[in-house]
Chains A and B, each alone.
Chain A
Amino acid sequence: MSTEKLSRRAFLKLAAASGSGVALAGLGPLSSIASAQDQVELTFGRHWEAAFRPRQAEYDEGFMERHPDIKINITYNTWADHNNVVPAWAAAGTLPDIIYVHGSRATPWAHEGIIIDIHDIVTADEEFNVDGMWEESVRLYRVDGRIHALPYDHGPIILGYNKDMFDAAGMDYPSEDWTMEDMAAAAVELTDPDAGVWGWDGRLDLGNGGGGFFTGAWGGVHMNEDETEMTMDTPEVRAALNHWYKLIHEDKVGASFTEAESFPNSQPFRAGVAAMGHIATWSTPSMRALANFEWDVAPTPMGADGSRYTGAFGSGYGITPTSDKPDTAWTYLREYLSLDGMIFMWSLSGRGSPARPEGLEVWLNSDPAPPNGHYFLEAMFDYAVTGPPFQSLAAAQVSNVLSTQAELLRLGESSVDEAIAAITEQGQAALDAVADDM
């Protein structure tokens, strides 16, 4: 992709030198050296696909070297399975000490006592720089003003494009001053039904993160600040949805839903048959594995009034109430989620989206990062806002309504007015139903 980058192998070497060995030593051992007999076992419930586990194992080996009194024991499940298994663990009281928490689960899990309030532990630890994390990312896990988990990964949604397709059409790449109208015009130009290629990949995503990308430029907002009211029945949201609806069904420049479903993870952009699509940093490793073309990123296009807005989202880790050793769990997390820990795990490995700006800077030089990856960083600094819903107990229901209606819009089974009416009615009903429990 780009010549200035080091190979993955070189990075692994670098990581071995800086990450686990030198940099982390700076944190200082919290625990004294202990014999194997009084080793504490720290259990984990998390998801990583097989390919990323060697990295995790390397980190844990380094950690156990620094803390001979702690033994790490991990239960891996896939992302979806993890979210199904945790409720069962919680009901039976068999939760591990630390669990992976997707941003959308933080509020319900905190409310159900699946993750504990770690606010005091975090803020009392002077060496742990919680202010060095994106505020937008920490916000996901703050329930009633108190931190219940900490992010490892957080990413804004910006514009990805297929350089080969722009080159072939002799067109300029998306620029910093693009508006949504410019994007639409380029999409029309790049679409060639005979060749089976589209200007835009047609994915209309109204959920966490995606919502900001698709409605923010028009000033549309899904919900009020507290997430107690749906605010989608507005001229702004209507204008935004009409824009995308027209691109799909009238201009036919976006891959239809059924067509999109033919591609990996439903992404025609990744498959190289759509010139543009929205993208977050966590998708970059799979872009690297699957994309047979040159690609890059540009800022989320502006609204007609020159304003820029997009959504962001991510995941973190929390400590469970079942854990009888929250301090030991924190010993792990404070290092794992420190800048050095993040650089080792997510920046140098190219996995993406470290929840600290300095971590994201280092990631920019990793292999999977696109040449203009700095636009991710700028988005986080300038205009990305964590996408609702995530603060309501009914967040899952509202997300469900949003994705159902987005799908119907893409399929042409609903009009924009029908979709907005359904979202407002069903979303509001879900929010009202939990109003008393909050």
Chain B
Amino acid sequence: MLRKYFPAISASARREERIFYLFILPWLFGLVVFSIGPVFGMLGLSFTDWRISLDNLQFVGLENYTKLFADPIFWTSVGNTLYIVVGRVVFGTSFALLLAILLNQKVPGIPFFRAVYYLPTVTAGVAVALVWIWIFNPRLGILNYSLKQIGIQGPNWIFSKTWVKPSLILMSLFSVGPNMIILLAGLQGVPKELYESAEIDGAGHWAKFKNVTLPMLSPVLFFVIIISVVSSFQNFTEIRVMTEGGPGESSNVLIWYLWENAFIFLQLGVAAAVAWIMFVILMALTGIQFRVGRRWVYYEGEA
């Protein structure tokens, strides 16, 4: 049985294995000390009636989970989450890639533009609420003002049941900075020789992009997509600051639902259950991506 996972290996392979474990030792140590306890604690607590105090906890079995599955708002928030995740990943990744390509061009002023496109990521935090009023407020915002100039009556954005989710996706485009930088670093890493030899073969822009850029960038792009899915699931700054799940429940996403249960309703056991459901959904999605990724991600280092 163990043989299957730990087949006999040569002495040099064993040496390499020792180095592997030596190198991951700090991470492994941190995992055991800082993460294992809290993570399994959360798992255990999701089967209790934990509200705040850890004294006199009652084991309630799957009650927190069945309660969730019976709550229509939970299902609404699952739907909202998937809507926003798909939107953020598709548009966010494409937009980040577009910006990375633009910022990788040899045109004057590029360092300035790179800083500009990264600015919203830096100025987030406290400024965020004020900033969004300036941009998205249907009455005062620059967005609707601009639309008015070209004769379009802008929607109510985050104050409309219909538009709140697209608004949140649009807002997320302002924080593509990190993904843009990762992709830019990836683009910078593509050896110039590959482009040169492609040019010799007479390849045009598109052919170069498709045959050189994309394959060489694919490990990084793969990372960006995985991370985008995860962060779209977990990001709730805008939700907390701007919509608090509203109007109605139309922007109530799982992370807000979790937060609300934990820190507003003081239902920490229920919140723990939500966390585990989110974890399982993300596990499944990430697993699928790794499976699919094998088909399109090209690793230079892997023979």
Task: Please tell me whether chains A and B touch each other in their complex, using a CB distance cut-off of 8 A.
Answer: yes
Interface flag for A77 (CB, 8 Å): no
Interface flag for A32 (CB, 8 Å): no
Interface flag for A413 (CB, 8 Å): yes
Q: Given A112-B52, A113-B53, A258–B247 Cβ distance below 8 Å?
A: no
B contact residues around A15 at 8 Å (CB): none
Cβ of B248 and Cβ of A261 under 8 Å apart?
no
Q: Mark A127-142, 1 if CB is under 8 A from B, else 0.
A: 0000000000000000
Main DSSP-derived SS at the B contact region:
loop
Cβ of A404 and Cβ of B139 under 8 Å apart?
no
Cβ of B159 and Cβ of A400 under 8 Å apart?
no
Interface flag for A313 (CB, 8 Å): no
Cβ of A408 and Cβ of B247 under 8 Å apart?
yes
Nearest-neighbor residue (CB-CB) of A395 within chain B: B265
Interface flag for B263 (CB, 8 Å): yes
B contact residues around A258 at 8 Å (CB): 137-139, 156, 159
Give the CA-CA distance A46 to B169 in the complex, in Å: 36
B53 contacts which of A91, A411, A414 (Cβ < 8 Å)?
Answer: A91
Interface flag for B246 (CB, 8 Å): yes
A396 contacts which of B140, B247, B249, B266 (Cβ < 8 Å)?
Answer: B266
Interface flag for B51 (CB, 8 Å): yes
Interface flag for A29 (CB, 8 Å): no
Interface flag for A415 (CB, 8 Å): no
Minimum C-beta distance from A257 to chain B (A): 6
Minimum C-beta distance from A407 to chain B (A): 6
Question: Which residues 248-286 of A have a CB within 8 angstroms of B?
Answer: 257-259, 261-262
A contact residues around B22 at 8 Å (CB): none
Cβ of B139 and Cβ of A262 under 8 Å apart?
yes
A108 contacts which of B133, B159, B248, B266 (Cβ < 8 Å)?
Answer: B266
Interface flag for B24 (CB, 8 Å): no
B contact residues around A396 at 8 Å (CB): 264-266
Give the CA-CA distance A404 to B159 in the complex, in Å: 12
Q: Given A261-B159, A262-B139, A396-B266, A90–B247 Cβ distance below 8 Å?
A: no
A contact residues around B249 at 8 Å (CB): 404
Minimum C-beta distance from B89 to chain A (A): 28
Give the CA-CA distance A411 to B248 in the complex, in Å: 10
Cβ of A112 and Cβ of B266 under 8 Å apart?
yes
Give the CA-CA distance A396 to B264 in the complex, in Å: 7
Minimum C-beta distance from B208 to chain A (A): 47
B contact residues around A407 at 8 Å (CB): 246-248
Minimum C-beta distance from A198 to chain B (A): 12
Give the CA-CA distance A400 to B248 in the complex, in Å: 10
A contact residues around B51 at 8 Å (CB): 112
Q: Mark A2-31, 1 if CB is under 8 A from B, else 0.
A: 000000000000000000000000000000
Question: Which residues 214-249 of B have a CB within 8 angstroms of A?
Answer: 245-249
Minimum C-beta distance from B161 to chain A (A): 5
Main DSSP-derived SS at the A contact region:
helix
Cβ of B263 and Cβ of A83 under 8 Å apart?
yes
A contact residues around B262 at 8 Å (CB): 87
Interface flag for A43 (CB, 8 Å): no
Give the CA-CA distance A116 to B247 in the complex, in Å: 37
Cβ of A413 and Cβ of B137 under 8 Å apart?
no
Give the CA-CA distance A87 to B52 in the complex, in Å: 6
Interface flag for A234 (CB, 8 Å): no
| A interface residue count range (under 10 / 10 to 19 / 20 to 34 / 35 or more) | 20 to 34
A contact residues around B54 at 8 Å (CB): 91
Nearest-neighbor residue (CB-CB) of B45 within chain A: A91
Minimum C-beta distance from A261 to chain B (A): 6
B contact residues around A337 at 8 Å (CB): none
Cβ of A87 and Cβ of B266 under 8 Å apart?
yes
Interface flag for B268 (CB, 8 Å): yes
Nearest-neighbor residue (CB-CB) of B249 within chain A: A404
B contact residues around A262 at 8 Å (CB): 133, 137, 139-140
Cβ of B248 and Cβ of A408 under 8 Å apart?
yes
Interface flag for A428 (CB, 8 Å): no
Give the CA-CA distance A397 to B161 in the complex, in Å: 21
Give the CA-CA distance A407 to B54 in the complex, in Å: 36
Cβ of B247 and Cβ of A261 under 8 Å apart?
no
Interface flag for A114 (CB, 8 Å): yes
Question: Which residues 216-273 of A have a CB within 8 angstroms of B?
Answer: 257-259, 261-262
Cβ of A87 and Cβ of B133 under 8 Å apart?
no
Nearest-neighbor residue (CB-CB) of B56 within chain A: A113
Minimum C-beta distance from B188 to chain A (A): 40
Give the CA-CA distance A87 to B264 in the complex, in Å: 10
Interface flag for A84 (CB, 8 Å): yes
Cβ of B133 and Cβ of A91 under 8 Å apart?
no
Cβ of B263 and Cβ of A400 under 8 Å apart?
no
Minimum C-beta distance from B17 to chain A (A): 40
B contact residues around A400 at 8 Å (CB): 260, 264-265
Cβ of A411 and Cβ of B247 under 8 Å apart?
yes
Question: Which residues 274-296 of B have a CB within 8 angstroms of A?
Answer: none
Cβ of A404 and Cβ of B248 under 8 Å apart?
yes
A contact residues around B266 at 8 Å (CB): 87, 108, 112, 396
A contact residues around B248 at 8 Å (CB): 404, 407-408, 413-414
Minimum C-beta distance from A303 to chain B (A): 30
Q: Given A262-B140, A407-B246, A397–B265 Cβ distance below 8 Å?
A: yes
A contact residues around B140 at 8 Å (CB): 262
Minimum C-beta distance from B6 to chain A (A): 40
B contact residues around A83 at 8 Å (CB): 263
Minimum C-beta distance from B192 to chain A (A): 50
The interface of chain A, by Cβ under 8 A from chain B, is 83-84, 87, 90-91, 108, 112-114, 257-259, 261-262, 394, 396-397, 400, 404, 407-408, 411, 413-414
**What would be 15 A-B contacts, judged by CB atoms less than 8 Å apart?**
A91-B268, A112-B51, A258-B138, A259-B138, A259-B139, A261-B137, A261-B159, A262-B133, A262-B140, A394-B265, A397-B265, A400-B264, A404-B249, A411-B156, A413-B161
Known A-B contacts: A258-B139, A261-B137, A394-B265. Give 9 more (CB < 8 A).
A83-B263, A87-B52, A87-B262, A87-B263, A87-B268, A261-B133, A262-B137, A407-B246, A411-B247
Q: 3 smallest A-B Cβ distances: which pairs?
A: A112-B52, A258-B159, A258-B138
